Amino acid sequence: MGDAAVAGAGPAPRRQYRWYDKLLGLVGVIFLFEMGVFLLVFPWASEWDLNYFSRLPFWVRDVWISHYFRGAISGLGIVDIYISFVEVFRLRRFSA
């Protein structure tokens, strides 16, 4: 008898999104994209070597200037850009 009452209730009402939900989603997408571009490009710029970490002991400096480490940071940038594109498609939920 309980199953019949639940089945007859109908679909659950859709959530109504407000303007601040849309704005927060848009700001998040823009932030993720900009951070991703920064992490993708900055490790290969000449300014990468001019910071606090380049003045640490030799083993830290060797890791810091390693092309593998720079590639890993750039990989995080690519992941950020990918997540921002996924979120752009998820923002379509606000249109309905």
Domain boundaries, the chain: 17-94
Q: Is 73 exposed, middle or buried (0-12, 13-18, 19+ CB in 10 A)?
A: middle
How does residue 63 score in pLDDT terms, banded at 50, 70 and 90? confident
More confident residue, 66 or 55: 66
Structure confidence by residue, pLDDT tens digits, 16-59: 777 777 888 889 999 999 999 999 999 999 888 887 777 778 88
Q: Give the span between the Cα atoms of 23 and 71, in whole angstroms.
A: 33
> Which one, of 69, 83, 67, lies nearest residue 34 by Cα?
83
